[in-house]
Amino acid sequence: MYAFDYHRPQSVADAASLLASSSEAKLLAGGHTLIPTMKQRLASPKAIVDLSRVAELRGIDRKGSALVIGAMTTHDEVANSPVVRSAIAGLCQVAGVIGDQHVRNRGTIGGSVANNDPAADYPAAVLALNATVTTNKREIGADAFFKGLFTTALDDSEIIVRLSFPVPAKFAYVKFANPASRYALVGVAVAQTGKDVRVAVTGAGSSGVFRHKAMEAALAGNWSAQALANVATGASDMMSDMHGDGAYRAHLVGVLARRAVAAAG
């Protein structure tokens, strides 16, 4: 790890000005990607802006037809929140299968979404539930937020404040974990919110999390696992590595989507 300046602001405004003050400053949320990368000397930010003391980034609230989760809310808090459970029980399950207990105690929803790791779990849920990402500057819809591998719509001085999830009629997330890393080798989230049916896939796509439009169309008319029986997933659009080639991942997308629909009821 190289030397860096460490800041621990108390407010989003202070965090934003610290972030803007250096072109090489980085936000620290749970740190599960940033800290190991720094320890390996692969990242060398000149300044770290630690968000852990910013109270306005925390908290879980039901606001009418939406579930609102502060960006610095940990996976463990989401997994065990009665408010989340009563609104979107499947989101507890998403948070509960991230990493292990140690990871869940530190990792945050805002950090996960901002990092947009192509094998992270939250992006699939955010996209399937059509959540809105609120930053210190604006509101960004899920479809506009995720821009490809480790890339989002956030600009360099933008900080995620909270995520707002419309409460769906049906939702489930099914994950097939990479046996080594326990990230998603493939994860599929399915949601029905009003008339809107959305299927989001993580871990598999070569451009990161994506909506499976063919599955959405099939489910819109017939919400059942059988409706997906003949929906193809293109192997050539999938990531390929020693843990799974494109054909395997594409196959798993189908299997997990059917299981997710069944689980969502």
Partner 1 sequence: MSATGIGASVRRKEDQRFITGKGQYTDDINRPGQAYAVFVRSPHAHANLKGIDASAALKSPGCLAVYTGADIAKDKVGNLICGWMILSKDGSQMKMGPHPALAQGKVRYVGDHVAVVIAETLAEAKDAAEKVSVTYDVLPAAVDVATTQNTGQPQIHAEAPNNTVYQWHLGDKAAVDAAFAGAKHVTKIDLVNNRLIPNAIEPRAAIGDYDSGTESLTLHTTSQNPHVARLVLSAFIGIAPEHKLRVIAPDVGGGFGSKIFIYAEETVCLWAARKVGRPVKWTGDRTEAFLADAHGRDHVTSAELAIDASGKIVALRAKTKANLGGYLSTFASSVPTYLYAPLLSGQYDIPAIYCEVDGVYTNTAPVDAYRGAGRPEATFVVERLVEVAARQIGQDPAEFRRKNFIRSFPHATPVIMTYDAGDYEACLNKALELADKNGFATRKALSAKNGKLRGLGYSAYIEACGIAPSAAVGSLGAGVGLWESAEVRVNPTGSVEVLTGSHSHGQGHETTFAQLTSQRLGIPIEQITVVHGDTDKVQFGMGTYGSRSGAVGMSAIYYAIDKVIVKAKKVAGFVLEVPENTVDFKEGIFSSSATNKTLTFPEVALQAYIAHKFTGAQLEPGLKEGAFFDPTNFTFPSGVHICEVEIDPETGSTRIDRWTAVDDFGTLINPMIVEGQVHGGIAQGVGQALLEGAVYDKEGQLLTASYMDYCMPRAGDLPSFQVAMTSTPCPSNPLGIKGCGEAGAIAAPAAVVNALTDALGHEQIAMPATPLAVWRAAQKSPMKMAAE
Give the CA dihedral 146, 148, 149, 150, nearest 10 degrees. Answer: -40
Distance of closest approach, residue 181 Cβ to partner 1, in angstroms = 4
Token pair belonging to 122: 């939250």
Tally of CA atoms within 13 A in the half-sphere of 123 that contains its CB: 34
**Residue 181 is a binding residue for partner 1 (CB under 8 A):** yes
Cβ 80 to partner 1 shortest distance, Å: 20
Query: Does 230 sit near partner 1 (CB under 8 A)?
Result: no
Which residues, 206 to 225, sit near partner 1 by CB under 8 A? none
CB 83 → partner 1: shortest distance, Å?
A: 29
Other CB atoms within 10 Å distance of the CB of residue 152 = 20
Q: Which is nearer to partner 1, 85 or 182 (CB)?
A: 182
Nearer to partner 1 (CB atom), residue 47 or residue 255:
255
Strand-pairing partners, residue 133, are 140, 163
Of 239-258, binders to partner 1 (CB under 8 A) are: 242-245, 248, 251-252, 255
Of 17-25, 106-114, 177-185, 198-206, the segment contacting partner 1 by CB under 8 A is 177-185
Phi/psi zone of residue 184: left (φ > 0), alpha (ψ -120 to 50 degrees), beta?
A: beta
Cα 186 to Cα 30: distance, rounded to the nearest angstrom = 23
Q: Say if residues 239 and 204 touch (Cβ distance below 8 Å).
A: yes
Applying CB under 8 A, does 179 fall inside the site for partner 1? yes
40 forms part of the interface with partner 1 (CB under 8 A): yes
Residue 39 or 147: which CB sits closer to partner 1? 39
Instruction: Report, in Å, the least distance between residue 245 CB and partner 1.
Output: 7
Establish if 21 lies at the interface with partner 1 (CB under 8 A): no
Looking only at residues 182 through 201 of this chain, which bind partner 1 when binding is defined by CB under 8 A? 185
Contacts (Cβ under 8 Å, ≥6 apart) of 238: 204, 205, 206, 245, 246, 247, 249, 250, 253
Query: Would you say 129 or 186 has its CB closer to partner 1?
Result: 186
CA dist., res. 225 & res. 83, Å (int): 29
Smallest distance from partner 1 to CB 144, Å: 30
Q: How far is the CB of 202 from partner 1 (least distance, A)?
A: 16
Residue 42 makes contact with partner 1 by CB under 8 A: no
Q: Which helix (H) or strand (E) holds 191?
A: strand 184-193
* Contact of 117 with 124, CB cutoff 8 Å: no
Residue 252 CB, shortest distance to partner 1, in Å, is 6
Binders of partner 1 in range 157-176 (CB under 8 A): 176
Helix (H, G, I), strand (E, B) or coil at 75: helix
Q: Is 203 left (phi over 0), alpha (psi -120 to 50) or beta?
A: left
Q: The tokens of 136 are what?
A: 């210190």
Give the total of residues touching partner 1 (CB under 8 A): 16
Binding site for partner 1 (CB under 8 A): 1, 40-41, 176, 179-181, 185, 242-245, 248, 251-252, 255
